[in-house]
Structures are given as structure tokens and as C-alpha cells.
């Protein structure tokens, strides 16, 4: 087994001086202290693109207007309205379709056009990607459709959505959807069946769930 080595980064910092640009206090490993002007300039050039600038400006202003006041659902709806998106795509896990339906009723009430695509679209059996029968959730009891985030993304692209919202896609499946989504995307619900879809709770309970990671 290769020797584990750790390189200090932002999560190791207790100062977070980058919030106020207090350069003299930056720790030696701080990426802001070490960043090359060429790479910073290249990143800043992206903000000159109209859509990138609009997304950045709108989210920054909404952050100030709704900080500790708006729920994630309210913030998402308000963002869609302020951006003037014509059609919203919802990529949902079929296991959270009830929650997706409630959210879509809110979109409808706000007169926001939406299209929902469940993760089992195409009804392709899991064996197509090499999942053995004994690793299916139904344990070899016949057809079990695989999650198909690539098709979800392509379907929403075909429906010409301007903005997509992820609801409860599995780890990895969400990665694929984000990779293939043609439209800007936000994640509204992260699936965690153990923690009632509140994954940060595992980080707070050091004596409970966190102990699973201790050797």
C-alpha cells in the first residue's frame, strides 16, 4: 500500500483571510498566496461571458438578499425567476419523485415551466453496464432498471431546458448528470436515506456516524 501523504489546503486553514484579502495573514500553503497570475487571469476572463456574469451576479445579490432567511427551495425558485429562465429541468431519483412532485407544484404556482425526468428513463436493465444479478437491489428477481443520468441529461437537452435542478440522484449518478448536462445545474436535494436526506448531520454527530470512519 502506498504511503499516505497529505498536502495542506483550504480545509486546514483556521483564518480564512481570503474573505477580506488580508494578504499578510495568509498561511504559507494558502492557494490565494500561491496562485499564478496567469491562472487567475484565465479564470477571471470567464466572468466576461454574458451567461457566466449573469449567473455570478444574480447568485451574489440573491445571497445578500436571502442569507439566513430563504430556504433552499425558496432560494432556488427565486434564482430561476431573477434569471428569467424560460424552462426548468428537474432530474430526479424515482425514489424521491414525491418530493420532486411537491417542488414542481411550487414551480407551477410560480408559473415556471418545468420538465421532470426520472432516473430510470429508458428502462435499461442494470446488466447492461455489468451489474451482476446478485448485486441488484431485487437480488436476481428479474429485470431491474439502471439509473440513467446520461439519458436524463440528454432528454432535458432535447426539451431545451435553460436550467436544471438535481433532486436526490445517487453519488456518481449525479456526477454523470452534471458532466452531461447542457444547461447550468444546481443540486437541491442530496440523497441520504440514513440521515433523512441531510448528509451534513453525519459530520455533526462525531460520536455516532462519524465513528464508522475511525480505524
- pLDDT category at 210 given cuts 50, 70, 90 is low
Confidence of residue 108 (pLDDT cuts 50, 70, 90): very high
Worst-scoring range by mean pLDDT, 78-87, 89-98, 132-141, 179-188? Answer: 132-141
Phi, psi values for residue 124, rounded to 5°:
-90, 130
Which residue shows C-alpha cell 436544471? 164
Domain 85-215 class, CATH top level? alpha beta
> pTM of the prediction?
0.91
Domain ranges across the chain: 18-71, 85-215
The alpha helices in 4-49, defined as continuous H runs, are 31-34, 37-46
- Checking phi first, is residue 16 left (phi over 0); if not, alpha (psi -120 to 50) or beta? left
The DSSP secondary structure of 65-123, one letter per residue, reads: HHTTTS-HHHHHHHHHHHHT-SEEEEEE-GGGHHHHHHHHHHHHHTT-EEEEEETTTT-
Rounded mean pLDDT of 140-161?
A: 94
| Residue 208: pLDDT over 70 | no
Query: Which residues neighbour 93 within 8 Å (Cβ) at sequence distance 6 or greater?
Result: 118, 119, 147, 167, 168, 169, 170, 191
Contact by Cβ (8 Å): 165, 73: no
Q: Which of 6-15, 55-64, 102-111 has the lowest mean pLDDT?
A: 6-15
210 vs 52, which has greater pLDDT? 52
Amino acid at each position: 500500500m502506498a504511503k499516505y501523504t497529505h498536502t495542506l489546503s483550504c480545509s486546514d486553514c483556521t483564518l480564512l483571510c481570503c474573505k477580506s484579502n488580508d494578504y499578510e495573514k495568509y498561511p504559507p500553503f494558502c492557494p490565494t498566496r500561491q496562485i499564478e497570475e496567469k491562472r487567475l487571469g484565465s479564470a477571471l476572463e470567464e466572468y466576461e461571458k454574458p451567461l457566466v456574469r449573469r449567473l455570478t451576479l444574480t447568485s451574489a445579490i440573491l445571497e445578500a438578499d436571502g442569507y439566513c432567511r430563504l430556504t433552499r427551495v425558496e432560494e432556488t425558485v427565486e434564482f430561476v425567476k431573477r434569471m428569467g429562465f424560460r424552462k426548468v429541468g428537474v432530474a430526479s431519483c424515482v425514489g424521491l419523485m414525491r418530493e420532486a412532485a411537491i417542488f414542481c407544484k411550487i414551480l407551477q404556482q410560480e408559473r415556471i415551466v418545468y420538465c421532470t425526468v426520472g432516473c430510470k428513463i429508458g428502462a435499461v436493465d442494470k446488466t447492461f453496464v455489468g451489474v451482476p444479478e446478485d448485486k441488484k437491489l431485487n437480488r436476481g428477481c428479474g429485470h431491474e432498471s439502471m439509473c440513467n443520468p446520461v439519458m436524463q441529461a440528454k432528454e432535458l437537452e432535447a426539451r431545451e431546458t435553460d436550467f436544471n435542478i438535481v433532486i436526490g440522484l445517487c453519488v456518481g449518478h449525479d456526477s454523470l448528470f452534471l458532466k452531461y448536462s447542457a444547461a447550468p445545474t444546481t443540486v437541491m436535494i442530496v440523497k441520504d436515506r440514513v440521515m433523512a436526506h441531510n448528509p451534513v448531520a453525519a459530520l455533526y454527530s462525531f460520536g455516532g456516524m462519524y465513528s464508522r470512519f475511525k480505524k
